[in-house]
Chain A
Amino acid sequence: MRRRRNKATTDARTEVLDRIRAALAGPDGVAVGGTGEDPATTVGRPSAADAVVRHYRSTGVHEPGSPALIEMLTDRLADYRAVVHEVADASELPAALRRVLAGVRTAVVPPWLDSAWVTAAAGAGVAVRTDAPTVPLSTEALESVEVVLTGARVAIAETGTIVLDAGPDQGRRIITLLPDRHVCIVRAGQVVQTVPEAIAVLGRSPARPQTWISGPSATSDIELTRVEGVHGPRRLDVVLLRS
């Protein structure tokens, strides 16, 4: 769609901004509509004391990738009913992938997934297709693929979260959405303890589309009981590479 701003829109923009400025100023700088005497609250009035205070934790106590964090992440993911597979080092990964992908016939991978992983998947008898932004697979093709295999950008131990930011080993957002099972390989060094640490990592390229994933798709809409498996992948496997 062509970008343009028609007259009515410009007027609305000006008027809304004017209203905001007027609201913030108030008559004589005094709040409008208040009782005028002994106000019950001063919440919402900006003051010097309201400068943003960040006394919360901005880092965890554990180094990224430390055994304590791997354990915490594993525990949290299990809580969400994700399946966690721990792998001691890269040499064990092919065997592990063969186990995880046993019985799987088709998989899709992003354009630059570690070739050793792709080879391992193919070695497990899986027909592997690649989706690249320049040569994308059709929606129908992705819909019929059983598994998507990706890397990740960062993982948060305290919340059991894996974040994808469409990097070359993660691919377009759609490929981790349509297949019913997502197998995600996370390297220990990518595991941080807290949300602020992850935000710092992601802040290096915030404009990339991001998907934060904490377990398989779920709903709590029926009597607030969590049920796994609605529209997103109903199974999430996380392969944790310890070194």
Chain B
Amino acid sequence: MSVDLGMPGVWAPKGAAQTSGHGAHPADPLRWGPTFPEAAAEALGDRQLRRNLARATSTIRGKRAAVVGEVTDWEELRDAGRAIKTRVMAELPELLLQLEEQVTARGGTVHWARDAAEANRIVADLVKATGETEVVKVKSMATQEIGLNEALAEEGIEAVETDLAELIVQLAGDMPSHILVPAIHRSRAEIREIFLARMDDVPRELSDAPAELAEAARLHLRRTFLRAKVAISGANFAVAETGTLAVVESEGNGRMCLTLPETLITVMGIEKLVPTWRDLEVFLQLLPRSSTGERMNPYTSMWTGVTKGDGPQAFHLVLLDNGRTRALADDVGRAALHCIRCSACLNVCPVYERVGGHAYGSVYPGPIGAILTPQLTGAAGHGDPGSSLPYASTLCGACYDVCPVKIDIPALLVDLRARQVDGDRRRILPGAWDVAMRGASWAMSSAKRFAPAARSARLGRLLARDGKIRSVPFPGSLWTRSRDLPAPPEETFRDWWSRTRGDGDEA
């Protein structure tokens, strides 16, 4: 049976298997589809997608602003969060060894994986050793990043996503488009269609009321949870000092996976550490308010190794590199590794809001994805889809204002752009191009310089006809030859942003 669910055509399968979209996915979850400009142009033409995104992101922006606004020491918490992450990066080897020692002392087993293939191999072997062919999964960015579900499918192991949004994505044979809400691009009506088409146990009269859809997911997964012997999770935090792992969630599917099965396998990026138990007091305040816009998420589970008589009696922790050490060696990459995946920067990004997550061609979309993806993959050349990502931004600065660990995303993007320009400059056109782009890079690398520069660009209106500048004198002609340069608007984007939106979202 082939049901057209209106999925994007690049990689979507026809008639994906009943409870799994495997086989349908890109070979590399960090770089799939066309380049950002091509994918963005296509997404911009999808009005349903833009409506879904605009509605969802404006809801979450409002909630975040309200709950952040009531915290009197929010800036102090951000400073602490940033300082703790800086310490983590500087002391990473010692902290990882400490974590390993603590987890091992408490009855867990620690594995190390250099890359995605190695991590997938380790997990597949661990599952096979249990004799099971089905595993339940808690939503996890790390396992998305390494394409674990597809790797397990090749070994005859079915991985069932249990987070509602992940389940929607999996049933639709889709890719996630948001860090926190992977099905943010789907409206309730579309979700109803997906459930009706792909779940064998939903009532025909299912409506699109969110409560009914959630109930359908509850019933669909209940038996699976109760029979599952192996669970796979990610981790939001790991405390080096105590060996404690933490998973932050809402639905209780995380608790199910972390409590019911006999074996638990956790895959975690090596940067997810915090040094001390006390550091949790910072991140457990920053994360929920930044991500779902709640004072606290419904459930947070913490466990340390194995607890006799309570929960899984076998625990494996897989520590994943997969490009992180490459990122760590670089100023920009190291800063990006501070990210706690709250997704606040996606929700405030005017570019993300309009093009959606798929255009970024990576499981890490949005402003932070535009940095993290090329850093993890080492994307450099123009042929690599990741190389255009640093340009997927207006540098409006909203992402920096909301980032709970104060990652200066606009500055990092400008740095990445400058490197590409430097690279190109060496190959082509020294001279005037050089002067112009270095100037632009200099102006854009500082908000103070950028604002007046953008304003002065309004002089360009004098050259424009029909709102487009068709040609400008050399060296600008090198640019306008290949594209129209829109005439600078009466009001710059930055000015418009701070006038219309800056108020509510400023922390």
Contacts and interface: CB of A to CB of B under 8 A. Distances in A.
Given A203-B277, A214-B294, A231-B255, A12 B112 contact: yes
A41 B109 CA distance: 39
Contacts of A220: 181, 250, 292
Interface in B338-391: 338
Given A206-B242, A209-B304, A217-B298, A55 B73 contact: yes
B116 to A, nearest CB: 13
Contacts of A221: 163-165, 168, 181, 183, 251
Given A19-B321, A35-B419, A208 B252 contact: no
Interface stretch (A23-31, A89-97, A101-109): A23-31
Contact of B330 (A34, A214, A222): A34
Interface in B65-103: 72-73, 76-77, 79-80, 83-84, 86-87, 89-90, 92-93, 96-97
A35 B77 contact: no
A119 interface: no
B474 interface: no
B481 interface: no
Interface in B303-353: 303-305, 307-311, 314, 316, 319, 321, 325-326, 328-335, 337-338
Interface of A: 1, 3, 8-9, 12-13, 15-17, 19-24, 26, 31-35, 38-46, 50-58, 76, 79-80, 133-134, 136, 139, 143, 156, 158-161, 166, 172-174, 177, 195-196, 198-200, 203, 206-227, 229-233
Interface string B199-220: 0000000000011011101100
Nearest to B378: A33
B411 A41 contact: yes
B39 to A, nearest CB: 23
Nearest to B330: A33
A45 B169 CA distance: 38
A112 to B, nearest CB: 15
Interface stretch (B7-15, B281-289, B482-490): B281-289
5 contacts: A17-B97, A32-B329, A209-B301, A217-B298, A222-B188
A211 B359 CA distance: 37
Given A20-B328, A44-B335, A160 B295 contact: yes
B319 A16 contact: yes
Given A1-B263, A220-B250, A231-B225, A35 B298 contact: no
A16 B251 contact: no
A41 B277 contact: no
A99 to B, nearest CB: 25
Contacts of B301: 173, 209-212
Most buried by B among A24, A43, A214: A43
A230 B80 contact: no
Contacts of A32: 329-330
B219 to A, nearest CB: 10
A43 B215 CA distance: 45
Contacts of B445: 38, 40
A1 B163 CA distance: 28
Q: Which 8 A-B pairs have the closest CB atoms?
A: A232-B252, A133-B309, A44-B334, A46-B90, A44-B335, A231-B252, A23-B329, A19-B325
B253 interface: yes
Contact of A209 (B56, B87, B188, B303): B303
Interface in B418-435: 418-419, 422
Nearest to B421: A35
Contacts of A195: 281, 284-285
A177 B255 CA distance: 7
A212 B86 contact: no
B408 interface: yes
Contact of A56 (B80, B162, B314): B80
A48 to B, nearest CB: 11
Contact of B80 (A13, A54, A198, A216): A54
B296 A160 contact: yes
Contact of A24 (B52, B90, B288): B90
Contacts of A177: 252, 255-256, 259-260
Given A21-B93, A24-B90, 15 more contacts: A16-B112, A16-B113, A19-B325, A34-B332, A44-B338, A52-B279, A53-B76, A133-B309, A134-B309, A156-B296, A173-B310, A199-B281, A219-B250, A223-B56, A224-B184
A108 to B, nearest CB: 15
Given A134-B309, A230-B214, A214 B84 contact: no
B221 A231 contact: yes
B270 interface: yes
B244 interface: yes
A207 B242 contact: yes
Interface string B232-258: 000000010011100000111101101
Contact of A206 (B84, B297, B304): B304
A40 B414 contact: yes
A127 to B, nearest CB: 22
A210 B106 CA distance: 15
Given A44-B335, A222-B214, A23 B251 contact: no
A34 B93 contact: no
B55 interface: yes
Contacts of A198: 281
B259 A173 contact: yes
A43 B412 contact: yes
Contacts of B133: none
Contact of B280 (A79, A199, A208, A226): A199
Contact of B331 (A19, A34, A225): A34
B350 to A, nearest CB: 18
B59 A223 contact: yes
A232 B252 CA distance: 4
A136 B309 contact: yes
A143 B226 contact: yes
Contacts of B319: 16
Contacts of A222: 164, 183, 188, 191, 210, 213-214
A173 to B, nearest CB: 5
Interface in B151-204: 162-165, 168, 181, 183-184, 187-188, 191
